[in-house]
Each structure stands twice: as C-alpha cells, then as structure tokens.
Amino acid sequence: MSLWQICEDAFDPKKLNTQETVFTIGNGYFGTRGAFEEGYSGSEPATLIEGVFDNIPIGKEELANAPDWLSIKLFVNGERFRLDRGKILAYERILDMQTGVLSRTVSWESPTGIALRLKIERFASLADQHVGMIRYAVTSEGQDADLELWATLNTAVGNYEVLHFEPVDQSHMDDTLHWLQTETRHSKVQLVQTMSFVTQRQDFHKAILDSDIAPSFHLKGRLAAGDTLTTEKLVVMYTSRDGVEPRATAIERHLALLNEAAPEGSGSLYDRLLARSAEAWQDYWRASDIIIEGDDEAQCAVRYSIYQLRISAPVGDKRYSIAAKGLTGFGYHGHIFHDTEIFMLPFFIYTHPQVARDLLLYRYNLLPGARAKAASNGYEGAQYPWESTLDGDEATPEAIIHPESGEIIPVLNGHIELHITSSIAYAFWRYWHVTGDDEFMRDYGAEVLLSTAAFWASRAEQHPEHNDYEINGVIGPDEWHEHVNNNAFTNSMARWNIQAGLDALAWIKQTAPRKGQELTQRLRLDEQHLQHWQDVVARMRIPQDTETGLLEQFDGFFKLEPLDQSKYKDRTTSYQAILGMQGVQGHQIIKQADVLMLLTVLNSHFDLATKRTNWDYYYPITDHNYGSSLTPALHTILACEVGDIEAAYQLFMKGALVDLQNLRGNSPEGIHDACAGAVWQAVVFGFAGLRLDEDGPSTHPSWPDNWTRLAFNFFHAGKPISIDLHRPVS
Ligand code: IFM
C-alpha cells in the first residue's frame, strides 16, 4: 500500500457519485470531479471554477458547473467502451496525492470479444492553474481493431438539472485547437475553454467537428494487435473574472504550450506539463506534509485531507474563499461558512500564511456587506452573513428540503446564527498571533476586530433585572436548538471579540497613532462607545456553574429532557431525522460541538478541570455519527487534553475517513472540507499537542496505539519550525 495513494480496485456503479467526489482533481482555480471520460447515466461530471457563480432562485447564487472538459468516447469496431458492458478483466483507479494525478488502468473485453487495455491519466496543473490535461492510451491486446475516439467539450452538464452556461461562440484553428465560449445565464461570466487532441501516430485520421454544444475532435484508425494508440487532450480555461480577455488569452496560452520547444528527453507535452505540476505539488508537500508512522490508514487519510485543502483553496484571489465543499460538488452551492475560519484556516495560517492572508482579505473586502447587514438589522458595526459568496450579502436560503426527511423546512441560520461574526474576528486575531504580521493587523485586522466588536456591543441587550448583558434568540453551533437565549459559545465569543477590539485599538493607538486616529474617527469609536464595550465585556451573561465550571449550552438547556440513546443503537440517521425538528429541540442531544467548541477555540482561557467537567457532560450527548461532520475530528483536541486517547482516535478517524468511506452518505454532494481542516488540527493540536504561548511553541504528545512517530512543519513568526516526535519506548 502506498501511503500517497487513494486506490479503487473495482468499478461499482452504485458508488459512482461518491467516488466522483473522492477522486476530484484540482488546483484551487478549478476542481474537476472524478467522472469517467466515457460518461455514464447518473454520473455528475463537474468542473467548478472558483468564484464563478450564477443566480439561483433560492439561496442567491451557486458555483456554476462549466462545460465538461473530460469527455472522450472510444469505439472499438463500432462498439462503445463502457464498463457496464462487456467484461472487466482488470481495474484499478489511483489518485496519487503526491503529484495530483488521477489514473485508471482497465483491461476490458468488448461484448464481441475484443480485448483492450486502457491507461487513462489526468491532472489539473498546480503550476499553471488554467490548465487541465488527459493522457488516454489504448492497447489492443488480442487482435487488430478499428478505433474511433471523440474528444469533446460538452456543454450538456449542469448543477444537477440546472444548466448555467449557454454557448456564445465556438470555432477552431486549423485542426490544432477548438475554442468554446460560453456564458453564465444570469451573472454573465464569460468562460473560454480551448482544447487540443493529439497523437504521434500519423496513421490515424483526425477530423474537426464544430458545434456550439459539443465541439469535438474525431480520431479514426486501425490498431494492430499489441499496438498502442496514445492521445493527449489539453484544455486551457480563462474567464472574464481573470482580468484578461479570456478568448485571446486562452488561445494564446494554449498555442504557446503546444509550440514550446521540448528539451531532449523531456517527453511529450503531457510529460512536461505534468513534471511542472508535480514540482509545484512537491513544494506544497514540503510545507504541509504530516508524517505518521505506525498507522498506514491514518497516514494516508491525513494526506488526503491535506490534498483536499490545497485543491479547494483559491491562491492569489482575494474575491473568493473556500466553500464548505470546496470545488468538489454541488452541496451548499459553493457558499462560504464558518467552516473556513474555524476549521480550515488554522492549517493555512501555520503552513501557508500567504494563502491564509488572502482568505482573510476576502472577509476584509466584504466589510461593506457586513456593515449593511448590521445596519439593516438595527445594529452597529459589521455583522457577517452566515453564508457568503461574492458581494458579502447574506446568501443563506430561506428554506430547504431536509436532506433526510424530505420536508420543506425554514432556514433561520441567515437571520439568527450569529457566531460567524466572532469566528471571523477570531481568525484575524489568530493569524496575527501566529505570524506576527503587524502590518496586516494595522491595515486590515484591526478594522475587522473593531467593526465586529461594535456589532456585538450593540447586539447585546442589557437586562435590567439580571444586571447583565444577554444575547437572545440565536442559533449556536449546535443548530438543532433554535431561538435560544445566551448560547455559551455565542456569548463567550462575542465577549472575546469586544475585548479583542479594545485591545486592538489600544495596540494600534500605540504603534500606529495615525491609523488609530483614522479608525477611531471613521468607525465613530467615541469614549461613550468604548465604555459601553467595557461594560458589556464585564457583564456579559455566560451560563456557567461557578463551582463545577460546567457551562450550560444555553439558558434552560439542563431542563430539557435527557435522551436515552440506548434505544437508538441501530440507527442510520441523525437524531433530528428520528425525533423531528421539534422533538430534537426538546432534548439534551446536540448536533455538533458547541460548549466543547468554545473550549477548543478559546483553549487557553479554560483550565483542565473545566475542560474535563464539560467533556464528561457534552461528549456523550453529541451525535458524532449523524450530526454534523464538522466536529468529530475537532473533538480530538479536547479528548487528548482530558486523556481519553481512545475516544480521541475514534473521533479523529471519523473525520479522516468521512469521504473516503462515505461515512455520512452525503459524499456525492462534495468533500467535507471543514472536516479536512479539523483532521489537520486533530493531529497538530490534538495528538502532537502543539501550543503557542509567550515562551513560543511547545508540544505535549498523546500517542494512539501503534503510532510511533509524528512529524510536521509550520511557520511561527515567519520562521520555519520542524516538529519530529518519537513515541517514548515503554
Ligand atoms: O457550517 C456548517 C454548520 O456548522 C453545520 N451545517 C453545515 C454547515 C456547512 O458545512
């Protein structure tokens, strides 16, 4: 077993869509699902390009599925190659995470008995993010055969049944390349894809088929027994969002690649472009790899999470961030949630700070939308949308069809799930804390911390009888309980956010007085406001037993009925699906870490005894199997701290295998990218126990059974640091 490869050893039509997600290739600019070149009914081929949205009636807009660049249809003696016909004699599909190549080797016998061997490889270049390439090789294993291949750009694909792109124009240049110009129906984003399809074999006849909906190359010839036909399909993609004229740029880039001089021994164009991409992957892995010795399954799954984080992250574009499903599927429409700031961003802050900076600038640039949302709700400062896309307006749908029960249910998150705002503020602060990038804090971070603090200070209501400040009528991270008062996570993070705003202001006034003055004036931070902020910090209601340290998830949570989970041992759905929306609200059963997420995020603010008390209470009442996928792996951090290594490992593997084993049944809709981020955090902050304090970084390892070594790299204050932990011999 290679520790760098995800392998599939059989073609299973029932797993078609799951595996399409699992075998997605990408580079952060585009992601292409692992659909097969030959096409199958029920398949969901998709290429999603970062930030290319089109309108939808519910939920504002979604990443629009671009015309499919994978399509290659093969006919042998007139019979179409399809794995659901004829006989599969051998089959293997491998995603090589080290180089980003997806390859498939198939020995197949056609229904009339022609034996072929196919080797098909593809990659999305990490060195040139506009480039995707396929090498398609066919060997006739038994007898001479007539072959025909159609290589196409296929516009007949949509987000499920919604087709977003419509053809604008199409043509070709000699028999060298096709170009296809399409446009999203509503948002009017122009996309140009160019395609070439070449073989070194002179005896195959090549023809061009112009078509607005499926421009194609056609190759035809006779393959002698034992001979191989190798073809290479190169595709270049540019959109009108790229700041260039997409048609001219795509054609020029494509021709430059086709015509570049090939140094002696450098192989075909595919070999050369792959070598560049593989080198870029090598650089990526040098900074990001985690080595786990003694547990091959965990090693491979952790690398898969790190692979996913890279192919989801736009690099160098500050107008878009990482969606909940990255660029791997249609789930959540390409919208951005707290998944990015709380779950994925720590990975980038520690290993690729420049990418983290861009992801934060996405939020900084959307401050106007957040200010407008706060104002429209009657508050000050900036309130970030629960779901975000390009303009910073709220993108959460008002209703959805419940994925398990099929009912149409109202979605309140865009209105009352408020904690996204402090999560974003916290991400800015964390970036600063780890990188020491004062310039960034001065120019961008401080404004976000102050604007979000202003929101919270105006949102908290003073309660005359309780003599405190309260935040009522919210949804906390545990989304099964709605309209709750004083959610511990929301209130604690709000309090933290206001204090961070005050600290940032003091810091900036001292280190950059002019900027401090400018912010004070522009954000109207007069003395009266600042005193109010201090008062809110001092008297924010946090429901917690002062003796035991047990936090109450929200006012009245402890009065809800406990749930006897032993009655549901064989369940295959969430408690929300079993008990219903109302039923679950009446019980002490939760969807995802809420109090425990607070103890994880503000880790250094709580002592071990408080962590243990809350762990003992909340860990058993969380639906780790069918609640949210986000948190099992994140729980690993606390599980290690409280010394429950067995639970830590189980939770970690639930996260690490979530898509590789489709543990939640929804992998067809895309990768759980937050989970990928949580897996990285589980290893680094959980098992390795990495902490940063005034004395710098330190580790406190916890060793799951069989793990003998744990090693990784990160940056602290701009300096590279390598951690290499070895299990003590007992
Ligand atoms: O952001 C999450 C939320 O915490 C739980 N439901 C799914 C969202 C997107 O992943």
Tokens of 72: 């290659």
**476 CA distance to ligand 1 middle (Å):** 11
pLDDT, tens digit, for every residue of 218-231? 999 999 999 999 99
Distance of CA 501 to the CA centre of its chain: 29
> Which residues does a 6 A CB cutoff place in the pocket of ligand 1?
324, 332, 337-339, 479, 628, 630, 674
Q: Which atom of ligand 1 is nearest to the CA of 337?
A: 1
d(CA 433, CA 638): 21
Q: How many angstroms is it from 275 CA to the middle of ligand 1?
A: 37
Question: Which atom in ligand 1 lies closest to the alpha carbon of residue 628?
Answer: 5
**Both tokens of residue 165?**
């792109």
Give the residue-averaged pLDDT of 460-484: 97
Q: How far apart are CA 654 and CA 636, in angstroms?
A: 10
Residue nearest to atom 10 of ligand 1 (CA): 324
Burial of 363 (0-12, 13-18, 19+ CB in 10 A): buried
Residue-level pLDDT at 59: 87
In the reported structure, the alpha carbon of residue 364 is separated from the centroid of ligand 1 by a whole-number distance in angstroms of 22
Q: Tell me if residue 168 falls in helix, strand or coil.
A: strand
290-302 pLDDT, tens digit per residue, is 999 999 999 999 9
Radius of gyration over every alpha carbon of the chain, rounded to an integer in angstroms: 27
The alpha carbon of residue 478 and the mean position of all alpha carbons in its chain are separated, in whole angstroms, by 20
Nearest C-alpha neighbor of 251 from the set 322, 318, 171: 171
DSSP 512-568: -HHHHHHHHHHTT--HHHHHHHHHHHHHB---B-TTT-PBPSSTTGGGSEE--GGGG
pLDDT band at 424 (very low <50, low <70, confident <90, very high): very high
* Closest ligand 1 atom number to CA of residue 325: 10
Q: What are phi and psi of 365, to 5 degrees?
A: -65, -20
Burial 172-190 (b: 16+ CB within 10 A, else e): beeebbbbbbbbbeebebb
Q: 407 pLDDT exceeds 90?
A: no
Residues in Cβ contact with 524 at an 8 Å cutoff, skipping those fewer than 6 apart:
none
Dihedral (CA of 153, 157, 158, 160) sign: negative
Residues 13-52 have pLDDT tens digits of: 999 999 999 999 999 999 999 999 999 999 999 999 999 9
Q: How far is the CA of 524 from the centre of ligand 1 (A)?
A: 34
pLDDT at 684: 98
The alpha carbon of 386 and the centre of ligand 1 are apart by a number of angstroms equal to 10
Q: Give nearest CA residue, ligand 1 atom 6.
A: 628
Using a cut of 0.95, tell me whether the model's pTM lies above it: yes
Number of C-beta neighbours around residue 339 at 10 A: 29
> Helix, strand or coil for residue 324?
coil
Ligand 1 centroid to residue 574 C-alpha, Å: 15
Q: Which position among 479, 552, 641, 669 bears the catalytic label?
A: 479
CA dihedral (480, 486, 488, 489) positive or negative: positive
Distance CA 281, CA 279 (A): 5
Residue carrying structure tokens 């939770």: 651
- Nearest in space to 329 (alpha carbons), one of 43, 39, 695: 43
Q: E-strand spans in 141-277?
A: 145-152, 165-173, 177-184, 190-199, 205-209, 216-223, 228-239
Q: What is the mean pLDDT of residues 574-602?
A: 96
pLDDT at 601 over 80: yes
Mutate to test the pocket of ligand 1, among 479, 574, 591, 629 (most ligand atoms within 8 A of CB): 479
Q: Tell me the pLDDT of the chain averaged across its residues.
A: 97
Cα within 13 Å of Cα(113), Cβ side: 1
297 is catalytic: no
**Structural contact between residues 456 and 492, judged by C-beta atoms closer than 8 angstroms:** no
Out of 419, 424, 630, 659, mutate this one to test ligand 1's pocket (max ligand atoms within 8 Å of CB): namely 630
Q: How far is the CA of 479 from the centre of ligand 1 (A)?
A: 9
- The residue nearest atom 9 of ligand 1, judged by CA position, is 324
pLDDT on residue 402: 81
User: At residue 1, does pLDDT exceed 80?
Assistant: no
At residue 401 the predicted structure's pLDDT band, cuts being 50, 70 and 90, is confident
Ligand 1 center–CA 270 separation, angstroms:
39
Which atom belonging to ligand 1 lies closest to the Cα atom of 338?
1
Q: Tens digit of pLDDT for each residue in 339-378?
A: 999 999 999 999 999 999 999 999 999 999 999 999 999 9
Residue nearest to atom 5 of ligand 1 (CA): 628
* Rounded Cα distance, 140 and 147, in Å: 10
Per-residue model confidence (pLDDT) at position 405: 79
Residue with the smallest CA separation from ligand 1 atom 7 is 628
* Ligand 1 center–CA 299 separation, angstroms: 26
Give residue 220's pLDDT.
98
pLDDT tens track for 173-199: 999 999 999 999 999 999 999 999 999
Determine what percent of the chain is predicted with pLDDT higher than 70.
100
Whether residue 593 has pLDDT greater than 90:
yes
Which pLDDT does position 409 carry in this prediction?
A: 84
Residue 404's pLDDT is 79
Q: Which of 308, 332, 339 to mutate to test the pocket of ligand 1 (most atoms within 8 A of CB)?
A: 339
Task: Point out the ligand 1 atom lying closest to the alpha carbon of residue 339.
Answer: 1
> Above 80 in pLDDT, residue 403?
no
Q: Quick one: which atom of ligand 1 is closest to the CA of 332? A: 9
Q: Ligand 1: which of 330, 337, 482 to mutate, most ligand atoms within 8 Å of CB?
A: 337
In the chain the first and final C-alpha atoms are separated, in Å, by: 29
